[in-house]
Amino acid sequence: MKNNFFNKLRKVFIFGLLLIIAVCVLIGCGTLSGGEGGDTGAGDYGTLTITGIPAEYAGKFLAFSFDMQRNAPVRIIASGRDPRPFLASVENALINNGEVKLLLFQERPFIGGYTGYTGSDTISVQLVISNTKMRSTETNEPDFIFESVKFENGVANMEWDDGFKINSVVTVTGIPPEYNNRDIVIGIGFSQSTQDLESGHYLMRGGSTTNSGGIIVSGTVRNGAITTRIYPRSNGRYMQYTFTGTKDIMVLLDNGKERPKDLVGGLLSSISIVGNDPFTDYFLFASSSITDGKVTLDFRRGVRK
């Protein structure tokens, strides 16, 4: 009786072990499967080492912004640890003694898991500064940008002073509750609703961009307000926005409705970037005051267009 029990227990153990090995082979479980056929030490993944980080950031964490991971020509995943071992995950990297090392990976298509990044690419790196090592799905905007980072065989080294911190923001307060959790597009330097403003948002899907001489930012309304960073691009390069003066600002809000369209228009709009545009509520904030790239708007002062 006892032998039968131990035989069953041994079979369950062997089955469980085989199951773990099978899962690791599929997703690349680092030390159990060897990831891409190697050990998980140096050379098995890329690294971005940043030194000279100011003391004010000691104990904080760095991660790549989700916008960067989505829009970069090479989709690189940064982590403070190897995410391939069994039950491991991607997490933010700790800043310690003025430096940080981000381990770099790429997602494995179809079968899942990660493989080490070993490419030689030059890309813009957008970093999020966080108080926790856990990644947040709400984090889309970067706090700090390195305009051009050159990787060689997956490795790059940068000084903090080679990049710049984003200080410019636009804030809108007093937004009615019916717009909560809906998209908002803010056009700085626009005085009327234009297709350029709408299509600019659709083309970038977040962040900041320049279009028709203006700057476009976007985001999601939370609790009647939004604060979003301004980091425009000019000739393909990110730049600081430090304007001081007045500009007309147009705010577009998603009211949850679609424009009526006839049969032909409906068919055409299905293949158009902005044909199904839901931003049907427009508000003008004329001659808004901007100081060092920062602007705050009281929604109640906007004029519906």
Domain ranges, residue 250: 169-304
How many domains are contained in the chain?
Answer: 2
CA 136, 257, 269, 196 torsion-angle sign:
negative
Shared-domain flag, residues 203 and 256: yes
291 and 182 housed in the same domain: yes
The structure's pTM equals: 0.69
In a domain, 1, yes or no: no
- Distance between CA 30 and CA 35 in Å, rounded? 5
* Interatomic CA distance for residues 131 and 63, integer angstroms: 11
**Measured between alpha carbons, how far is residue 280 from residues 195, 255, 258, 270 in Å?**
12, 7, 8, 18
H or E, element range at 200: helix 195-204
Q: Are residues 144 and 247 in the same domain?
A: no
Q: Is residue 90 part of a domain?
A: yes
Dist. CA 144–CA 165, nearest whole Å: 4
Do 151 and 186 reside in the same domain of the chain? no
Name the amino acid, one letter, at 93: A
Q: Hey, what amino acid is at 42?
A: A
Do 158 and 49 contact (CB within 8 A), yes or no? Answer: yes
Residue owning tokens 């200080």: 167
Residue 88 maps to a domain: yes
Does one domain contain both 86 and 185? no
Same domain membership, residue 294 and residue 195:
yes
Residues 121 and 187 in one domain: no
**Are residue 252 and residue 195 in the same domain, yes or no?**
yes
Residue 263 vs residues 257, 259, 276, 298: alpha-carbon distances, Å: 18, 13, 13, 40
Please state, in angstroms and rounded to a whole number, the distance separating the CA atoms of residues 259 and 277: 7
Q: Write out the chain's pLDDT in tens, 305 residues.
A: 555 655 555 655 566 655 555 545 444 443 322 333 333 344 589 999 999 999 999 999 999 887 665 555 667 889 998 888 877 788 999 999 999 999 999 887 777 788 899 989 888 898 999 998 887 655 567 899 998 899 999 999 999 999 999 999 999 999 999 999 998 889 998 887 666 666 655 444 444 555 556 888 888 899 999 998 888 877 767 888 899 999 999 998 888 775 554 444 444 444 444 445 556 788 999 999 999 999 999 999 999 98
Residue where a domain stops, chosen among 131, 165, 199: 165
